Amino acid sequence: MLTDYHNHLERGTLTLDYLKEFTTAAKQKGIQEFGISEHAYHFHQTKDILSNPWVEERRYYDMADYYQLFHQAWNEGIDVKMSIEMDYTPGKHVEMKKFIDAYPFDYVIGSIHWVEDFGIDLAEFRKEWDRRDTYEVYTKYFDQVVTLAQSDMFDIIGHLDLVKIFKYVPQDEEFLLEQYDRASTALANSKTCVEISTAGLRKHVGELYPDKRLLQMCHDKKVPIVLSSDAHVPEHVGADYDQAIKLAKAVGYNTIITFNKGERLEVELG
């Protein structure tokens, strides 16, 4: 089986016609389970979780409209999973849990895009990397990976090593492997799956998330996986899945996890 659980409508509209462009693309790519996981910061209901000038310019959705869209799809017999991608925000566990519990999500993705006030993957912040200590950023980033896993609120962690997006990577391999080890250990002690995301192939880093060494640690510690393209336009749905499957099998994975209303099932990797 193939899944694609990490996709966004934000470049278009929250309409059934636009959603159908994504689900049609998924069918054409042979993806049996497909989900939309819009960024939570777009919704008015998450203002008490994450708020900064960059986010506030992009907060324009209401969860009632999002929920209604999925009901329209289900009423037409469209098999699409309802999810959200939550910016994991330290110190906001109560607020995040309240939001997550308020809606019948099939699964919830937790991702790390902010290290304090630093939007690590945003083009507007790219020059900030030159002014910061890469080792400090990595340490704080993987601190959040650990506490995200320990919260046990999320079914999937998105693009596990997103911090490498602009190729600012510590040269000290021992340091890097230490971060990978503590991240994979925390994930192994949680319910959180890791996604193999093809989005990195379309970014400056030009490689899959996560790094093969990190994914190997996850496999060896029995952390389950899902496959995702993180598509923001229909044509990217299922993109480069041949490379994702190759990486998964290279480190030893033969199964992936599927979700339905929070329930999970392990199935053979396609």
CATH label of the domain that carries residue 216 = 3.20.20.140
User: Which pLDDT band holds residue 262 (cuts at 50, 70, 90)?
Assistant: confident
Domain range for residue 245? Answer: 3-268
pLDDT of residue 270: 78
Per-residue confidence (pLDDT) for residue 145, from 0 to 100: 98
Residue 213: Cβ-neighbour burial (10 angstroms; 0-12, 13-18, 19+): middle
Paired sense of beta strands 263-268 and 255-260, if any? antiparallel
Question: Residue 157 pLDDT more than 90?
Answer: yes
Instruction: Supply the pLDDT for residue 75.
Output: 97
Please tell me whether residue 217 adopts helix, strand or coil conformation: helix
User: What is the model's pLDDT at position 220?
Assistant: 98
Q: Tell me the two tokens of residue 216.
A: 């190997």
Which SS3 state, helix, strand or coil, does residue 164 take? helix
pLDDT of residue 203: 97
Residue 246 phi, psi (nearest 5): -60, -45
pLDDT at position 12: 92
- Average pLDDT score over residue span 203-228: 98
Is pLDDT at 109 greater than 90 in this prediction? yes
Burial of 118 (0-12, 13-18, 19+ CB in 10 A): middle
H helix or E strand, kind and range, residue 23: helix 16-28
For range 240-250, the mean pLDDT: 97
With CA atoms as reference, report the closest residue to 37 among 57, 65, 58, 7: 7
Q: Which amino acid is at 50?
A: L
Share of the chain above pLDDT 70, in %: 100
Residue 93 pLDDT: 98
> How many domains, the chain?
1
Digit-coded pLDDT (tens) for 159-213: 999 999 999 999 999 999 999 999 999 999 999 999 999 999 999 999 999 999 9
pLDDT value at position 5?
A: 97
- Looking at every residue in the chain, the average pLDDT score rounds to 97
Using one digit for the tens of pLDDT, what is the confidence trace for 23-82?
999 999 999 999 999 999 999 999 999 999 999 999 999 999 999 999 999 999 999 999
